Amino acid sequence: MCWADLLVLPAAPYRLAAFLFAALFHHLWHLVSSRYIFLLIGGCLLASTATGSYAVLLHIPATGSMLVLLSISPACAHTWVFALQMSWQTLCHLVLSTRELDPQAVALSAIMLFTQKATSLALDIHEGLMLLQLGQGLLQLALPLCSYLLFFPALLGGPLCSFSRFQAQAEYCGALPCSLRAAGQQCLCALALQGLAGELATGRAAPDWTFLSTTTHRLAVFTQTWNKSTSCCLRRLVFQRFPAQPRLVTFAFSAWWHGLRPGQVFGVLCWAVMVEADYRSHPFLGAWATSQGMKLLYRGTTWVFTQLIVAYILVAVETESFSVLCLLWTSCNSILPLSYGLTLLLLLLAKKPKQN
C-alpha cells in the first residue's frame, strides 16, 4: 500500500476538512464577540453543507427540544425531550434506513448524536445540575441553548460536551485551552495507524488485521472504553435508572437508538450476552491462573477470543437482511459466541442452588 493512497481513503477527505475547519475555528475564536451566534451559524452551515436539504431533519427536533425546555417544568423536561427525540429519531430511521446515499447517512448520524445532547441537557435540568435563569430575556435564554444543541465542532462527531462546560468555554475570554499542535499530532497518529493497518491487510501472506480493534483481553472493558461518550450517556440515561436487569435494558435501548434493523438487534443483544458472560467468567478464570505462565496463557487466549467476538458483532451489526444474518448464524463463526452463551447458562445454573 502506497502512503499516498491514504489521501484517497473514504474517511481521509473528511479528516482533512475537519482539521482545516478546526484551524479556522481556533483562529476566529478569540476574534468574534458573540460566540454563541458564531457557533450557531457555523453549525447550521455545516449541517447544510454535509446533509443538504436533510438538514431540516436536524433543525426540527432542535427547535422542538428548545421549546420544550423553555416551556415545560424542570421535573417533566427530561420525559418530554426524551419522548420527542426518540420518536423523531425512530421515524427518521424508518424513512431513511433503506437509502445508502451519504447525505442521509450523515443526517442520521447527526440526529443520533443530537439525541444524546438533548436528552443529557434535559436530564441535567431535571436533576438540578443546571438551572435555567428564567429572569433573563427569551433571546438571552434561548440563544445559548440553541447554540449548544447545534454548535458545529461536535455536530457530526466528537465527545459529548455538557452544557456547563460548553457555556464556560464560550464565555472564556482567553484562547482555547487546547492547541493545534495536539490536534495535528493526533491527526498524524491516526493516519499512521491507518497506513499500518493497510500494510498488514495488503501483505502477501497477511490475514485481515482490521479486526484487531482493542488491546484489552476483557470484552466488558472494551465495551466501556470503545466509545466513552456514548457509554457514559447510556450509563446515565438507562443503566443507572433501571434496577432490574440494567445491562440487558441498556443494550436493548442501544439497539433502539441505532435503528432496530435486524442485524443491529441481533448484534447488540448478542453483545449483551457476551458481556454478561465476560463479567461472570473472568473472575473464575483469573483466580484459576495463579502462575506467571498460566496468567500469560489466560490473557493471550481471552484476548484472541475478544477480538473474534468483536469482529463477529461488527459483522452482525452491519448485516442488512435476514438471509445474510441466517448465513452468519449457521456458519462456523458462531461457535465462539455460542460457547460464551453456554458458559453463561452453566454459570447461572450453578449459582441458583447456592442462592437457594
Helix (H, G, I), strand (E, B) or coil at 311: helix
Using CA atoms, how far apart are residues 352 and 356, in angstroms rounded to an integer? 6
Cell of 75: 421535573
* Cβ atoms < 10 Å from Cβ of 187: 16
Could you say which of 78, 126, 227, 356 is catalytic?
227
Cell of 34: 458573540
Using CA atoms, how far apart are residues 281 and 81, in angstroms rounded to an integer? 39
Q: Determine if residue 99 is left, alpha or beta; phi over 0 gives left, psi from -120 to 50 gives alpha, anything else beta.
A: beta
Specify whether 59 is catalytic: no
Identify which of 113, 311, 103 has the alpha carbon closest to the alpha carbon of residue 227. 113
Burial code (b: 16+ CB inside 10 Å, e: under 16) for 124-161 equals bbbeeebeeeeeeeeeebebbbbbbbbbbbbbbeeeeb
Which amino acid type is present at position 86? Answer: M
Identify which of 72, 35, 27 has the alpha carbon closest to the alpha carbon of residue 179. 27
Using CA atoms, how far apart are residues 136 and 48, in angstroms rounded to an integer? 31
Specify whether 258 is catalytic: yes
Which amino acid type is present at position 138? Answer: L
Could you say which of 30, 258, 282, 333 is catalytic?
258
The pairs formed by 250-255 with CB atoms below 8 angstroms and a separation of 24 or more are: 251/275
Cell of 107: 443526517
Catalytic residue numbers? Answer: 227, 258
